[in-house]
Amino acid sequence: MDIARYPRLRRLALLTVALAAATPVTARAQGIQSGTSITLADGQVQGHLNGAAREFLGIPYAAPPVGARRWRPPVPNAPWAGALDASSYPPACAQLDALTSDGSESEDCLYLNVWTPDPAPAEPLPVMVWIHGGGDVAGASGNFVPFPPYESYRLYDAHNLAGDRGVVVVSMNYRLGVLGFFGHAALTGEDPGYPYAGNQGLLDQRLALEWVRDNILAFGGDPANVTIFGESAGAWNVCAHVASPGSSGLFHRAISESGGCTVGIATGAESAARAADVTAAVGCGGAPDVLACLRAAPVAALLDAFGDSELDGTPISIDGAFLPAHPRTLFDRGAFSHVPYMLGFNSDEGTLFFIGATPLASPAEYTAALTARYGALAPQVEAVYPVTSFPTPQDAFVRVVGDATLVCPTVDVARRVSAAKNPRTYVYNFARVIPLAFVNILDLGAFHGAEIPYVFNSVPAPNFFDAQLGSRMQEYWTSFARKGRNPGAAKSAAWPRFKERPWRMLRFDAPELATGITRIKHFRRAECEFWSSVYDTIE
């Protein structure tokens, strides 16, 4: 029967289709798959069990950015034949040796990892997508814990977080340094469809988020409830995605641990100038086809020419595409993704970067160090951080650098986002001094990155981490990922929303201490208000 000839039947059929589309169906019918063999549109993925989680490592999300694709925006990978063995972490993207990771010359590195509970959930679970740190010049999703005696443990191993907390966790590698943030002017004229240069690593992350949107349901994750979270450069990158109009809709909550993108962002001209210096250093400055010459250059030569800029900020730039304007401007205009946003910092962010440095021995050396770093601004900095307020001149300088580059940029983002009427903004201070001998010997305090194993539960208790503190933090993080508001943990303090006044946040310390998980006000307020007032003048 030709239904088009019978309008009433045709309307009834259309109504039936519409009702079917609106009627809730079980998650399993929508595509959640059981076991360690998952079938995706690209092919079959064979994972394995790890504790209470199913683990899938090294899944490609983009075509290898090699040859003519070096420095181009990423494109999806080709399907594969047979079952993909997803039992090993992917190779780290090309980078120099760094404090927390070994060097690599691999360009075929755009892979991601997935952890999901076992057995498969009946309904889709919140998804947490991790972006690793390393100054955007180093790091990888498979980094090992960088301190003894736990070097055999993976720092971002999420099998406990996923298996114990009922979330799906994804981590990815992305292009770094000279291969991931290369703003050569010639790239802007190469592709009329994308006349921009730089931020290739951020575009990799965005493509990974698109992969999550399209594939995560098969693993039991809810593509409509995605939290992006990251530490250090990962926190900057999370912040950049919040600011970027092109990333809007790919995530629904955000967490930045120790880093904010309103500071340390290069202009397009600065990025192009740095790329020109690299070009000259590898002998391509006078080449008839500069990009062809650069694409033929050895990875090692490019890495050496670009150098390591981890402490001085990030190579992210205002490229006109991913970032059409400075993040400060976008936040102040309210032109960003108004999603629930959690941000935080550790009390002693600067100490890790001064291991082995010759300490400043006198107030005069402290003044000279401030002048070398901040120029004419140094007297104002010294007034906010008088040397007499610290045990030593070195302690004063370490605090200045930690606050200026990590603590206060994080708070600066929270201030701007909150002021733009983003009501679900939350800030934390991680103050726990890990009870390990080397932490005390080196006087690291609550150092940069110390919160990560607590969040992931990636290092065994009780010898290293306080199991109770880790459990509470995992509850807060996953509670935030689940509902995006009023993050909480059983028998712990409620998390106040952050506002510039009264400057409230939650402190994480050992639960058995009086300063355990508590609400605090005004912490580092004078220091961060000072830095927010001068950031425009020191960039």
Instruction: Please give, one letter per residue, the 3-state secondary structure of 19-52.
Output: HHHHCCCCHHHHCCCCCCEEEECCEEEECEEECC
User: What is the full DSSP assignment across 65-108?
Assistant: --GGGTTSPP-PPPP-SSEEE--SPPPPPSB---SSS--B--S-
264: left (phi over 0), alpha (psi -120 to 50) or beta: left
Tell me the one-letter amino acid at 473.
M
Cα gap 255→171, rounded to integer Å: 14
H or E, element range at 454: helix 452-456
Beta-strand relationship, 168-172 and 221-231:
unpaired
Query: Where does residue 16 rank: exposed (0-12), middle (13-18), buried (19+ CB within 10 A)?
Result: exposed
List, in order, residues 6 or more apart from 302 with CB less than 8 Å away.
94, 178, 179, 278, 282, 294
Residue closest to 116 by CA, chosen among 10, 34, 189, 182: 34
Is the distance from CB of 70 to CB of 76 less than 8 angstroms? no
Count Cβ atoms below 10 Å from residue 366 Cβ, excluding itself.
24
Is the distance from CB of 169 to CB of 229 less than 8 angstroms? no
Strand, helix or coil for residue 226: strand
Cα gap 383→370, rounded to integer Å: 11
Tell me the one-letter amino acid at 216.
I
Cα 506 off chain centre by: 21
Annotation marks residue 338 as catalytic? no
Annotation marks residue 448 as catalytic? yes
Annotation marks residue 317 as catalytic? no
Query: Where does residue 391 rank: exposed (0-12), middle (13-18), buried (19+ CB within 10 A)?
Result: exposed
Give the residues across from 426 on adjacent strands. 342
Radius of gyration of the chain measured on its C-alpha atoms: 24
Alpha-helical (H) ranges within 254-391 are 268-281, 290-296, 299-306, 327-333, 363-374, 378-384
Single out the catalytic residue among 101, 171, 448, 527.
Answer: 448
Single out the catalytic residue among 104, 171, 232, 258.
Answer: 232
List, in order, residues 6 or more apart from 171 with CB less than 8 Å away.
112, 113, 129, 130, 131, 132, 141, 156, 158
Single out the catalytic residue among 257, 349, 382, 527.
Answer: 349
Count Cβ atoms below 10 Å from residue 82 Cβ, excluding itself.
8
| CA angle, 99 then 105 then 109, to 5° | 95
Cα dist. 323→199, 248, 268 in Å?
9, 12, 10
Q: What is the set of active-site residues?
A: 232, 349, 448
